[in-house]
Structure 1
Amino acid sequence: MKEVKIETTLEIYDDYNELPQSIQALMQSAIDARNNAYAPYSKFNVGAAILLDNNEVVIGSNQENACYPSGLCAERTAIYYAGAKYPEAKILKMAITASSQNQVTDQPIPPCGSCRQSIAEYEIKQDLQIEIYFMGAKGKVVKSHSLANLLPLLFENSVL
């Protein structure tokens, strides 16, 4: 038997105003997208903004449906649109913000497992790490230099 230790390193900013200006602008795009979320069931709005290497910013918000599996998270809405609209572009950075309509969301909210796997697919496909910033409606912002920090034992296409 061999024991393996997996470590993750994240950067934590006390709030949005500590972020570099370019990341504040990207996060503001995610906040604007969050405000367009369609979340009548969960009352949990999420927005995502992606910066591509062609300097385009692609946004997405969660879109729910009464038939729950038919809805889509903000991160996947943005990443799939980026892949469809700009198939040759690489994703450099992603900003994510989430807020509850029922209470103050002041803790960083990371991507769900399905979104992590979807982001991982693009990180592997483009052979380039994606910086990910995530926050609640206010408060601390977490930065990960790569999706691999959030999903260290990811499922990837080399096993297929």
Structure 2
Amino acid sequence: MQKIQSKIEYLLFENIDELDANARNLMNEAIKAREKAYAPYSNFNVGAAILLDNNEIVLGNNQENAAFPSGLCAERVAIYNAGANYPECTILAIAISASSSKHKVTNPVGPCGACRQSIAEYEHKQKQAIEIYFMGEEGKVVKVNALKDLLPFGFDSSFL
């Protein structure tokens, strides 16, 4: 038996103002998308903005439905939107922002498991990592260089 230790590296910014101009712009787009989310059941709004290699920014926000789990998370709305409308483009980065109408969200909110799997699929498809930035509605911002930093033992089509 071997004991193997795995470490992740990430950058932690004190707030959105510490991001470079491109990342700050992408996060501001995610915040705008978050403000248009449809979340009448959870009251938890999430926005996502994706930067493509053609410099297009594709948005998504969570869309809930009374027939759980029929809704979709912001990250998957954005990534599927990008895949449907720009199938030949490479996704360079995704920014995510979350808020609640019940309390102030000041801790960074990473993608859920289903969204991590979807991002992993696109990283595998395009054979290139996707930078991921995530935050609450204010406060610290986390940046990872690739989905494997959040999901080290991911599953993709290479296993099939």
Give, in whole Å, the separation in 1 of the partners of 2:84 and 2:6.
34
Shift, 1:4, TM fit? 1.6
1:101 maps to 2:101: yes
1:78 aligned residue: 78
Question: Secondary structure of 1:60's match?
Answer: strand
Q: Deviation of residue 3 (structure 1)?
A: 1.4
Counterparts of residues 26-45 of structure 1 (less than 5 Å): 26-45=26-45
**Percentage of pairs with the same residue:** 58
Aligned-pair CA distance for 1:2: 1.4
Any idea what the Cα deviations from partners look like across 1:104-130, whole Å, max 9, x if unmatched? Answer: 000000000000000000001101110
Report the 3-state secondary structure (helix = DSSP H, G, I; strand = E; otherwise coil) of the residue aligned with 2:143: strand
Report the Cα distance in structure 1 between the residues aligned to 2:114 and 2:95, rounded to whole angstroms: 17
Tell me the distance in 2 between the aligned counterparts of 1:75 and 1:158: 23
Task: Specify the code of the residue in structure 1 equivalent to 2:28.
Answer: Q
**2 CA distance for matches of 1:68 and 1:75?**
18
**Unaligned ranges ≥5, structure 2:** none
Question: 1 CA distance for matches of 2:10 and 2:23?
Answer: 16
TM superposition score normalised by structure 2: 0.99
> Secondary structure of 1:98's partner?
strand
- 1:126 paired residue number: 126
Q: Give distance in 2, aligned partners of 1:68 and 1:36.
A: 20
**Does residue 1:49 correspond to 2:32, yes or no?**
no
Query: Distance in 1 between the 2:53 and 2:103 partners?
Result: 36
The amino acid across from 1:150 in the alignment is L
Q: Which amino acid aligns with 2:38?
A: Y
Alignment-derived partner of residue 21 in structure 2 = 21
**Cα offsets for 1:6-64 (capped at 9, x unmatched):** 11001000001000011111001000000000000000000000000011000000000
SS in 2 for 1:94: strand
- Unaligned 5+ segments in structure 1 are none
Q: Which residue of 1 aligns with 2:148?
A: 148
Task: Tell me the C-alpha RMSD between the 2 structures.
Answer: 0.5
